[in-house]
Structures are given as C-alpha cells and as structure tokens.
Chains A and B, each alone.
Chain A
Amino acid sequence: MDRLIIFFDNAPSIHKEGIIQDFSSYNDILIIHFPLFSDEKHFSEISMKNLSFENSRLKLIPNVSKKENLIKIENFINKKINNKNYKKISILHSFLDIYRLGFVVKLKTLCQFSCNFIYTIPLLEPIRLNDIYILPRLIRLFISLTYQKIYLDSNKIFVFASLNSFIYKLFFRKVNLLPYKKIKNKIFSNKEVNNLNIKHKKLRILFIGKLIDRKNPMILINAFKNLKFDAQLTIVGEGYMADKIKNKCKKIMDFSDSHIKIFNRLDNQQVNDLMSEHDVLVLPSKFDGFGFVVSEAIDSKVYVIVSNKVGSKDLIHNGKIGAVFKNNSLSELQNLLNLHYLRSI
C-alpha cells in the first residue's frame, strides 16, 4: 500500500482499536502509544499480545526522559518505514497537551525524510460544554489547537461524534465524523432492526457505566420508579455514587414489587450475556464523548435510549434502533420507555 497511517495515541481503547481496524483495510498502519501517568494503570491491564498489529506497535513510557522516548520513536520509525516509498503519511493523534504535541512535531519531521506529503490530523472526542470546568477546558483547547495550526499545519480533524462539533469548525476547515464504523456497518448490513421485540413479559432495562453524576444514573432510577408496568432494572458499574444508588434502589424495592439488580463489575463476556437478556439499554449521561456501550448494545440487537448529550446518538438513525431524549428530562425518558413497552404488549 502506498499510504501509511500512524496512530499516535495514549492507551488503547476498544473504540480506537475499531477505527484502526477500519483504516487497515486500505492503509499500512503503525501505532505508537504514549500514555500519561494516569493512563498507566489502565494500560497495565491490557495485554499488548491480545491487540492486533502487535508488531507494528510501540509503547512509550511516561516516566523516562524526553530524549529517551524520542530515540525510541526515531528507531521505530526508521525501522518501519525504511525503504518504503509512501506517497502519503497521515499522523492521527489524540493529544491536546503541548508536551506530547511536541512529540508529534518531531514525528512529522522524521517522516519528512521518506515522504513529501505528511498530514497531521487530531482524532478527538466531542468537548463537554455543560459543566463548571468549561472555561479552563476551552482555554486549553484554544491553546492546543492554535499550537497545532502553527506547528503542525493541521486543517482537518476527526471527531467521534457530532456532539458540540461546531467548536472544532472554528479551527479546522474540515471536520470529519468518525464513529465506530465497524459496528455501524454491521448494523446496516446484517441486522433486521424491525424485529426488536421484548423478550419477556416484563420490560428489562439495562444501565452500564460508571456510577457518577456525569453518567446520570439517578434519572433512570427515578424514571423506573414511576413506570406503571412490570419492569426490571439492572445496573452495572462502580463509582462514588454506588452507595447512594444502592440505598435508593433498596427503598424502591421496599415499597414496591420492582426488581432492581446491581452488579459492581463484570467481564466482557458477562456484559455480552447480560445485554442479550435485556430489552433496552439506557445511557442518560449529562455528557458522554461517545458511549461505546451504545454501539455494543445496538450490535447485540438491544434497543437503546440515550440522552442528546451522548456522542453515539449519531448511530441512532431511526426509531427502530433507539431513541434520543433531552438531557436530564425525566418525563421524556419515561415517555420513551413507555413507548418502547408498547412495542411489547
């Protein structure tokens, strides 16, 4: 292939691995991981051997000197692209901090020795605009994107979802949406979404996510409490709201016949099994850059209901797959659950 894509990213994520797979069908791929200290724990849980393109990956270590990491990159790049005449090299990176962007500049310079057309393209999540940290976040973004304009000459960006993408339009000529295509293609090629029927007499509702305010699990519990029909709620996740949620659920179960199950943590296989046992997945986040669990649910033929602040709402092209409600609106969430129940009775 005459085109090379270098993914310069922090720790691997399922979402980005899917994107890498997509690009690999018509490009050569190199992957350089440069985690921050905070990503190290997450990284340590991932075995590089289980990831695709094992031989095309390089992992940098955050707590060594800059020089040492630069040498590693140089050796890796020289070894991999030596004697290959690529017509075009694209560097996709997900960094906003100036420190790591400096490495992207260096990487671009290294590639210029073997190819004339080098493009650096940021691959970012949507920006959260609805919390108190909006101002520092926007300042950081402004500094980072200005740096990229000057030193990397970036004029195009890939974002995971359309959510708040108008911000990026202020900086880049072209904003390309890049949701998890592999699953998206699967939806539209293999799935007969018309056949989404309730599998049981009661509506089985699933929430998977961190039990934190941003994911807004309380709104789902309140909507569930108000449902007039037989339903069951399953919550999977951990977080600082866990105790509050457990207490609330206990109270609901004490005063009604409602069934609520809570699991702290499940492995991937258990999550898949759980999905197939449920009728609807609800992700009511106040903000979610993408919300990968939504694509997994759609893939498992589970109906999804998400708030309009969840990036993966872009995957819901019609009401057969799922529905979108206004962030934090209890009545709208309840209405969509009622409508979904109607499909079953």
Chain B
Amino acid sequence: MSQAKYYLPLIHNSKVSIYPYFRLGGFGLGNILFPFCRALCQSLKNGANLLHPHSNQIQPRNFLRELNVKSLRNYSYDFNKLKWISLPQNKSAFIFYLNKFKDETHIGSYKYIYFEGLKNYFYDLYEYREIIRKFFYYSLQRNLKIEYNTVAFHIRLGDFLINNQSISPEKIRFSIEFFLKRSYKIKIFSDTNLSQLKDYIELSELPKNVSLVRSESPLIDIIEMSQAEFICGSPQSTFVEWARFLRIRKYDINSYSLLSRRKYEEIDISPSKWNHFI
C-alpha cells in the first residue's frame, strides 16, 4: 500500500539535542553531509518527503581548545542555502514528535526513517553523484566550471594536528614547490588563518602565485575546491573528498594525495580513486 513517507537527516545522534532546533556537539561539515545526502537521495528514489535536517549544532569542546569560531562547527549558514529541498522546520518537528522513526535498515517496510552516521561514505552516494552535484551547485547558485591551471590545496590543521593526522610542514612546502615548478596557481583552503598557516609551514611569506582563500563558508569552499583543475590534499579528509565528489567526473584523475600510497590504501571511502602521490 502506497503512503506518504518521511525521511529525516538526523545527521548524528547527540545526548543534548532538541530536533530540529539545536544540538550540542557534532562532526564537521564533510561528515554531516553524508547522512543529509543519503536522506536526500532516498527521498528522490522512494518519493518521500525530506524533513528539515538536524544541522544547527555547536561543538564547544573544539572551540574551547582552539578558540577559533570555525571550531564551533555551526553550519547553519550553509544549511540555510539547502533548506529549499526540505520541509519547514516546525512542520518537521511536528512530524518527528508525533511519529516513531526507525533507522534506514527499515526503509523498504516503514515510512518514517531517519539517517545518521557515515555508513559507507561515498559508496552509498556514488550512483547519485550527478544529481548531488547539481543540487549543491543550484542551491549555492554556482556555475559548473573548471578553473584551469589552478590547484586547490587543502591543509587541515585543527583537530588533525591534535590527532596526528596532519601533513608535515616539509611535505607541504615540497608539494607547493612541486606545483609552482609546473606554473600552476595555488589556492590554499584551510581551517586556520594566514599567520598560523605561515607558522606551521615555516614560511615568512607565501610564495608568489600561492594564496590562502578567505572562506565565505565551508560549503562554498568545497564548491570552489571542486572547480580547480587539480586538487591536492589528504584522502583522509572527507572535506577534500567532497570537493572531488562534486567535480565533473573526467577530472577525477587530477587528484594529488599528500598521503603516501601505502597509507592511502588503508582508507577506502570513495569509489573514485586517487592516482597521484606526492
């Protein structure tokens, strides 16, 4: 029997949470886009209504550690651009509190489903790649294009530094040199500011043709990275992988990994493989 269906991008579960208004704690944008996009794609596939995402979060632990407003991990600005595709906030709250939602393993047999967590990363989304790309470009009012002779260079510090996942300064300097020798323009996307970045990579000034992108919003950063002819970063970062995912497919090969091939092979989050290792 056909009936109205409701899919909720719950994003991730938290102990302090009032859906859809507020949540304490949460992943970064790269990670929370997975449940959102899974819910969106399944809504398209099954003709379901998409509920307002539970995206209004703050992460005080990271903020207190880094004293950087980006560490609050609040992506309301970005999700406001995406909300045209989902039901209004209050209506979603009404549906959520009056019904029992089950996880996505019940999708074939139940009409109230929530999506949370990373599951199979880009493997779950790959068949919808084109539609997801169009959705983000349309929502952010960007044109699909490629900026030739440009490298989007992603340097993640913040919690990557604490977790010992960041790339060494020597490797970053070497990689910048690698692209400059080939006369490419380098745009650095990072979660840090210029002085911290210069301190980290131990340079008094950024070389000519290298600039740090002043971030408008994390989602716009992803889109801008996706428009560069080359992407250089760590395959460990879902942020970089999203930029690769949203690119035109034929540019998939233009990806340069800052991780060694051996380390890269331990990670398997996307069917689109990296094939250059600096």
Known: A228-B84, A331-B87, A338-B85. A324 touches B131 (CB 8 A): no
Complex Cα spacing A339 to B49, Å = 8
- Asked if B4 and A325 sit within 8 Å, CB to CB, the answer is yes
Distance of A261 from chain B, by nearest CB (Å)? 25
Chain B residues, Cβ within 8 Å of A339: 43-44, 50, 85
**A314 at the A/B interface (Cβ < 8 Å)?**
yes
**A336 at the A/B interface (Cβ < 8 Å)?**
yes
**A216 at the A/B interface (Cβ < 8 Å)?**
no
The listed residue (A324, A336, A345) touching B2 by CB distance below 8 A is A324
**A285 at the A/B interface (Cβ < 8 Å)?**
no
**B47 at the A/B interface (Cβ < 8 Å)?**
yes
- Asked if A323 and B47 sit within 8 Å, CB to CB, the answer is yes
Distance of A69 from chain B, by nearest CB (Å)? 39
Distance of B96 from chain A, by nearest CB (Å)? 14
Chain A residues, Cβ within 8 Å of B65: none
- Asked if A343 and B131 sit within 8 Å, CB to CB, the answer is yes
Q: Mark B38-74, 1 if CB is under 8 A from A, else 0.
A: 0000011111111000000000000000000000000
Chain A residues, Cβ within 8 Å of B4: 308, 324-326, 332
Distance of A73 from chain B, by nearest CB (Å)? 38
**B88 at the A/B interface (Cβ < 8 Å)?**
yes
**A322 at the A/B interface (Cβ < 8 Å)?**
yes
**A150 at the A/B interface (Cβ < 8 Å)?**
no
**B3 at the A/B interface (Cβ < 8 Å)?**
yes
**B134 at the A/B interface (Cβ < 8 Å)?**
yes
**B16 at the A/B interface (Cβ < 8 Å)?**
no
Beta-carbon contacts under 8 Å, B83-117 to A: 84-88, 91
The listed residue (B1, B48, B86, B138) touching A323 by CB distance below 8 A is B48
**Interface-central residue, A319, A326, A335, A343, by most chain B CB under 10 Å:** A335
Distance of A318 from chain B, by nearest CB (Å)? 6
Distance of A262 from chain B, by nearest CB (Å)? 28
Question: Considering only CB atoms, which chain A residue lies closest to B91 in the complex?
Answer: A331
Chain B residues engaging chain A, CB cutoff 8 angstroms? 1-5, 43-50, 84-88, 91, 131, 134-135, 138
The 5 tightest CB contacts between A and B, nearest first, are A319-B47, A323-B47, A319-B46, A313-B2, A316-B2
24 residue pairs A–B, Cβ–Cβ below 8 Å = A228-B84, A308-B3, A308-B4, A316-B2, A317-B2, A319-B44, A319-B46, A319-B48, A322-B47, A323-B48, A324-B4, A324-B5, A324-B47, A325-B4, A325-B49, A331-B87, A332-B49, A332-B87, A338-B85, A339-B44, A339-B85, A342-B131, A342-B135, A345-B135
